[in-house]
Amino acid sequence: MDSRRAPARRDAFPVPWTIRLREAWRALFGGSLGWRDPVYLADKPGEERALRVIAMLLFMQRASYLVPAAAGAASAGMRSTSLNVVLLTVAVGWNAGLAAGIRRRGWFPRWAVVADLTVVCVLIVAGATNCPVDQIFTSANWPKQLGYGTAALIGAALPPLRGIAAWLVLTAALLGAPVLSTGGVPLPPGGIVAVLNSYFWWAVTVHFMRRFLCGQARLIDETAQRQLVLEARRTADRARYTERIRQYRELHDSVLTTLTAIARGGLDHRVDEVRRRCASDADYVRRLVGEDASGRFTTLGAKLTDVIATAETLGVRVHYLHDGLPADLPAPVADAVADASREALNNVAAHAGVTDAWLTARWDDGVLTVRIVDRGRGFEPETMVPGFGVCSSITDRMREAGGGATVFGMPGNGVCVELVWPASQPG
């Protein structure tokens, strides 16, 4: 089929009006307050979720007054239909703009409450002057009903003292409107009392509803946070227990084996090989003591311990010092630092011509620095060409993890390999 006919085929199947209506609804309201999107709400704190739900209920309350008023705008029996349409346009436009603002903010700022109170008071006065005297306190006078929404908003968004002041302003508009409409003719007190009663209980009910829902939301958040902290502690304890079991096994297979062999006369402690083995075991015990004194398990510390144990099997005695290694270092970074350190110690065993090396690790102001130093042959910086191990196993590995590596050396003065994460900026 000719591809040039594709646009014609697409026009032959128009999008159903229901889908267009759903897309328009989502564009206007979908995710605006989040009550229809659980995933959107899941990313918000509990109190904010509660406030968004309350805001949704407040707008639904206002819609219950405005929709019937708009449906009967032309047949409401008002003195001036044109004025009634103008007032409805103002009310709908204001509430639409208010909803758009709350869509971004999630809750009503105080200036929005004051502005809403001002607009509704003006509507109440104007609606009373446009309404027949016998219908001022009936459902035909829809601005009076819109005041219920403002009373609820006052109770939800303002503290008690300011809420009382705003409520008095609203009731003053309600009581003053009939005076302007009737020219001072007294009205039956029953209607006034009924409306004032509704204003009062709307404000009180929504005020306590907000306090209860927000209090419950904060309590749930605090409980969840405590549960997360407890779970993190349990995870750390399990990791530390696993590490401790590993250490016990290492002690059993190294230090305890050496001491038992010496005690039974199977090894002569005066032999150089046995003395080197004892020195290696002593270094391992010192590392365990140092890690235990730090008070927390670290992935990097465990990996560096394994690296040092591997280097010691190659005949290199590693003097290890560390200062407060981070417990939350990303796993790829810990792997890169440990593997680069292993390659640096392999180079000591292969090229330095010495049996001692020093590995120091430090965490300072969010920067990890690991140095591997020996006092061996060194190299001539001007003539030395880095091999595959230095370039790929050390430099490239650290760069891929977001860090950097530098190799220093002088003939006869040994080599220093410095690993830094994150990568330090050039001075």
**Domain check: are 60 and 178 in the same one?**
yes
User: What per-residue confidence (pLDDT) applies to 169?
Assistant: 92
| Residue 284 covered by a domain | no
Domain end, chosen from 226, 256, 271, is at: 226
Residue 384 pLDDT level (bands cut at 50, 70, 90): low
Q: How many helices (H) and strands (E) does the chain have?
A: 15, 5
Concatenating the DSSP letter of every residue in 94-130 gives HHHHHHHHHHHHSS--HHHHHHHHHHHHHHHHHHHHT
Say how many C-beta atoms besides its own lie within 10 A of residue 115's C-beta.
Answer: 16
Per residue in 63-96, pLDDT (tens digit) is 998 888 888 766 566 778 888 889 999 999 999 9
265 part of a folded domain:
no
User: What pLDDT does 188 receive?
Assistant: 60
Kindly tell me if the per-residue pLDDT of 165 is higher than 80: yes
**CA–CA gap between residue 394 and residue 388 (Å, rounded):** 9
Does residue 280 lie within any of the structural domains? Answer: no
Give the chain's mean pLDDT: 79
**Among 38-42, 180-184, 231-235, 248-252, which range has the highest average pLDDT?**
231-235
Reading the block at residue 89, the tokens are: 């346009």
pLDDT of residue 116: 94
CB atoms under 10 Å from CB of 79, counted, come to: 11
Q: Are 79 and 134 in contact (CB under 8 A)?
A: no
Please tell me whether residues 163 and 41 are part of one structural domain.
yes
302 and 214 share one domain: no
For range 225-251, the mean pLDDT: 76
pLDDT by residue (tens digit) across 25-76?
Answer: 555 545 444 445 555 556 678 888 888 889 989 999 999 988 888 887 665 6
End-to-end CA distance of the chain: 65
Q: Does residue 42 sit in the same domain as residue 169?
A: yes
For residues 183 and 322, state if they share a domain. no
pLDDT digits over 417-427, tens only? 999 998 764 43
User: Which of 173, 191, 226 lies at the terminal end of a domain, its last residue?
Assistant: 226
Say what the pLDDT of residue 137 is.
74
Does the pTM exceed 0.75? Answer: no
> For the chain, how many structural domains are there in total?
2
Q: Residue 3's pLDDT is what? A: 44
Checking if the pLDDT of 111 tops 90, the result is yes
Specify whether 334 is located in the same domain as 213: no
Cβ partners under 8 Å of residue 366, min gap 6? 422
CA distances from 339 to 201, 284, 310 (A): 69, 19, 11
> Distance between CA atoms of 144 and 63, rounded to whole angstroms?
14
Least confident residue range of 95-104, 237-246, 310-319: 237-246
Among 34-48, 226-240, 255-269, the range of highest mean pLDDT: 226-240
> Domain limits at 208?
16-226
What is the rounded CA–CA span in Å between residue 108 and residue 101? 8
Other Cβ atoms closer than 10 A to 92 = 16
Nearest of 176, 69, 74, 78 to residue 122 by alpha carbon: 176
Judge contact between 169 and 221, C-beta under 8 A.
Answer: no
Same domain, 215 and 313: no
The residue-averaged pLDDT of 196-205 equals 91
Domain annotation covers residue 271: no
For residue 131, the 8-state DSSP code is S
Q: How far is Cα 206 from Cα 50, in angstroms, rounded to an integer?
A: 12
Measuring CA to CA, how many Å separate 209 from each of 122, 175, 311?
A: 28, 27, 66
Q: Is residue 267 part of a domain?
A: no
Q: Indicate whether 164 pLDDT > 90.
A: yes
Q: Which of 235-249, 354-368, 402-416 has the lowest mean pLDDT?
A: 235-249
Angle between helix 272-293 and 299-313 (nearest 10): 180
Whether residue 75 is contained in a domain is answered as: yes
Question: Do 304 and 400 belong to one domain?
Answer: yes
Task: Tell whether 315 and 169 lie within a shared domain.
Answer: no
Instruction: Say what the pLDDT of residue 324 is.
Output: 74
Q: In what order do the strands lie in the sheet with 356-364?
A: 317-323, 356-364, 367-374, 415-421, 404-409
What pLDDT, in 10s, does the model give residues 275-322?
Answer: 777 777 777 676 666 655 444 446 788 788 888 887 887 778 888 888
Report, as an integer, the average pLDDT of 397-403: 90
For residue 8, pLDDT over 60 is answered with: no
pLDDT for 158 equals 93
Task: Please compute the mean of the pLDDT values over residues 163-184 and round it to a whole number.
Answer: 80
The dihedral built from the CA positions of residue 129, 131, 135 and 136, taken in this order, carries a sign that is negative
Please indicate, yes or no, if residue 248 is contained in any of the structural domains. no
Q: What is the pLDDT of residues 350-364, one digit of tens each?
A: 888 898 999 999 988
How many whole angstroms separate alpha carbon 226 and alpha carbon 214? 18
Residues 50 and 199 in one domain: yes
What is the percent of the chain with per-residue pLDDT over 90, rounded to a whole number? 24
CB atoms within 10 A of CB 276: 14
Residues 219 and 307 in one domain: no
Among residues 211, 226, 241, the one where a domain terminates is 226
Residue 253 in domain? no
Cα distance between residue 349 and residue 165, in whole Å? 82
Beta-sheet strands, E only, within 170-240: none
Enclosing H/E stretch for 358: strand 356-364
pLDDT at 292: 55
Q: What pLDDT sits at residue 205?
A: 93
Nearest by Cα to 336 from 303, 378, 377: 303
Residue-level pLDDT at 346: 85
- Radius of gyration from C-alpha coordinates of the chain: 39
What's the pLDDT band for 190 if we cut at 50, 70, 90?
A: low
Confidence of residue 2 (pLDDT cuts 50, 70, 90): very low
CA distance 108 to 239: 47
Q: Based on the fold, state whether residues 200 and 332 are members of the same structural domain.
A: no
Neighbours of 64 (CB within 10 A): 12
